[in-house]
Structure 1
Amino acid sequence: MAFTVRLDTAFLVSSVLVGILYGFSVLMFIGTIWTLTYKRRTQDINRSTVAAATLLFLLSTVDVILVIIEVEDGLVKYRNKFPGGSELFFADLLQEIFIAKNVIYTLQTLLGDGVVIYRCYVVWQSVRVIILPCMLWCGIAAFGICWVYAPRSSSPVSGGSYDQTFIAGEMIWITAFLTFTLATNLFSSGLVAYRIWTIERKVSALRVTKRKIPLLRVFVDAAILYSVALCSFIVIIYAYSSAVFYVMGDMLIPIISIAFYMVFIRIAISKHTQDGWSSETERGTLQFRIQPWQSGPRQSDMSWPTAQK
């Protein structure tokens, strides 16, 4: 007997999990802004990173608001008014809130993958390296437009459900969208990790102290977190249906934010530690240069001791 999930139940569980993940992402966002701005001059703040983190936070916040409104409409406001009850209400793909959530998820995915590609370019300083990631990013945008626009080009048949042709086509768009973003994330993160690894090998002999938390591991952890989430949702699509993905897909938005906040915080801490180490080195060098001039005995030290009465 196949295991089935009611959409209203899935929406309720998903909204709770989204709230938990969003709360954690808010804490990560606060930590990101604090790490990027604490004890830093205005000209030293990385404005592009702050802007990206703020956009991720705003998109996550808007998505949570839409989830709350949709759950309240389906379970309370239109529970007895919508034909077929709350389950068919959540199965209606033509609702404005539903389409708005898809747009937000597409925008956040494009923003996150764009940050990964830009980070890859900064590390490699080569346009040729990011040609394939940029092509994949364009594919993400194209498939995102298709799977957002697809529900508007169709209408449900009797009973509020959609025909199998539409469902199969929708699953193709969603799968292609997730596959392209997974490939972009893995390929770009792999290039960044490889570049950092090669640089670490070259300078490891010159470094006096080793980092307690290697920056490479942070990139790998963030890539694994996002990749596991994407693979899980791809399995959900084929195990159940695309409608279940629309419900559980809300959890991907805070997961994307959390993954990037992890990287932002670690990079800021690493840069702050490196700047502090450089300052300590400069002060130590200056003290070493001044010390020989002060090593001679001072005039007060050369006086004879006086007899104590």
Structure 2
Amino acid sequence: MLVTSSGMFLLATCGMLTSVLSTAIGISLIKAIIQADTVGTEHLRRVHDNLRAVHNVRLTTNGLLTDLLFLYRCYMVWGSRRAVLILPGVFIFATCLLGYLYLPMADSLIPDKTPFIDARAPYIMGGVTNVILMCLTAGRIWYMSREARIVHGEAFRRRYHTAIAMILESGALYCSVLLLNLISISLVSKSDAAAIFRGVVSGLVGQMVNIIPSLIFVRVGMGYCQWIQEPPPADVRTPPVRTPKLLEALPEDVCSEVIEIK
């Protein structure tokens, strides 16, 4: 978790820097268009496209890191069974491939760089991947909670339900953000309200891809998820062995022989 959170911090910092630079260049581009500076406009457009491509590649890599974290969590919950990695692993690979093919050209201002893939494809695959991982992980914990209830009663079942609630909450939040992004991409209207909505949702996706795993880190660190901890062993005291009164009256060598015969 420390390595993953450090990687997400570095990627989020890079995303913040590229966003600031892209915004500054976008303002300069607007000034160049107003001043009818053709050479400056073309140069700024190419710089803007390159920065947006870097930003989108960073977003895809960030999503890949988050998905691998969720995949590892599912792998550990299933008792390190490699077979459970096949289906979500295929979807993670497909999501990453679509993201690297589409997102670098998604915000291009140059007409010849129009993307050839549907804009919603990477986000749909990301949502499906998240749902698969959520069902596999939460379903396995739910099955384990049934066994824990039989053996240990209701006390242990609450811990499992806490873990399930955390997984479902994070998965639902992630899917909700992706759904908003799909709605913003599907909007045909070119009004100012639609443009503002697209910008807000786009920024929300870039932030939530790191915030959602961080929420899990914080909740685990605060002790809200302790279902994997085993209870302390019961203090079983064995009653002391009493020596019969008849043996106490015998010598030690005879007493030991009698005990061995018994």
Which amino acid in structure 2 is aligned with residue 131 of structure 1? I
1:203 CA drift (Å): 0.4
Note the 1:15-26 alignment, pairs <5 A.
none
Query: Are residues 241 and 99 of structure 1, via their aligned partners in 2, closer, same or farther at CA, if it must alter by over 3 Å?
Result: farther
Query: Are residues 215 and 251 of structure 1, via their aligned partners in 2, closer, same or farther at CA, if it must alter by over 3 Å?
Result: same
Match of 1:44 in 2: none
Match of 1:27 in 2: none
1:223 CA drift (Å): 0.2
1:217 CA drift (Å): 0.4
Which amino acid in structure 2 is aligned with residue 176 of structure 1? A
Residue of 10, 19, 30 corresponding to 1:67: 19
Verify: 1:144 aligned to 2:99, yes or no.
yes
1:73 CA drift (Å): 3.1
Distance 1:241 1:110 in 2: 31
Query: Are residues 151 and 175 of structure 1, via their aligned partners in 2, closer, same or farther at CA, if it must alter by over 3 Å?
Result: closer
Match of 2:163 in 1: 215
**Contact 1:120/1:188 (8 A) holds in 2:** yes
Residue of 65, 70, 76 corresponding to 1:122: 76
Match of 2:208 in 1: 255
Distance 1:83 1:133 in 2: 49
Count residues with an aligned counterpart. Answer: 224
- The C-alpha deviation readout for 1:152-190, integer Å capped at 9, x for no partner, is 9x873xxxxx38x936x35x0x31111111111100111
Query: Are residues 84 and 100 of structure 1, via their aligned partners in 2, closer, same or farther at CA, if it must alter by over 3 Å?
Result: farther
Normalising to structure 2: TM-score of the pair?
0.71
Match of 1:197 in 2: 142
1:96 CA drift (Å): 2.3
Structure with greater contact order relative to length (CA < 8 Å, sep ≥ 6): 1
Query: Are residues 84 and 219 of structure 1, via their aligned partners in 2, closer, same or farther at CA, if it must alter by over 3 Å?
Result: farther
Distance 2:24 2:183 in 1: 28
Identity of aligned residues (%): 21
**Contact 1:218/1:262 (8 A) holds in 2:** no
Match of 2:126 in 1: 181
Q: Which has the larger radius of gyration?
A: 2
- Give the unaligned 5+ runs of structure 2: 241-262
**Contact 1:215/1:266 (8 A) holds in 2:** no
Query: Are residues 57 and 149 of structure 1, via their aligned partners in 2, closer, same or farther at CA, if it must alter by over 3 Å?
Result: closer
- The C-alpha deviation readout for 1:34-83, integer Å capped at 9, x for no partner, is xxxxxxxxxxxxxxx111111112211221222222223333x4442246
Query: Are residues 142 and 128 of structure 1, via their aligned partners in 2, closer, same or farther at CA, if it must alter by over 3 Å?
Result: same
Which amino acid in structure 2 is aligned with residue 51 of structure 1? V
Match of 1:101 in 2: 55
Note the 1:1-309 alignment, pairs <5 A.
49-75=1-27, 77-82=28-33, 92=45, 95-124=49-78, 125-150=80-105, 156=110, 162=111, 166=114, 169-170=116-117, 172=118, 174-205=119-150, 206-207=152-153, 209=155, 211=158, 214-240=162-188, 245=198, 248-268=201-221, 269-270=223-224, 278=231, 281-282=232-233, 285=235, 289=237
- Give the unaligned 5+ runs of structure 1: 1-48, 157-161, 294-309
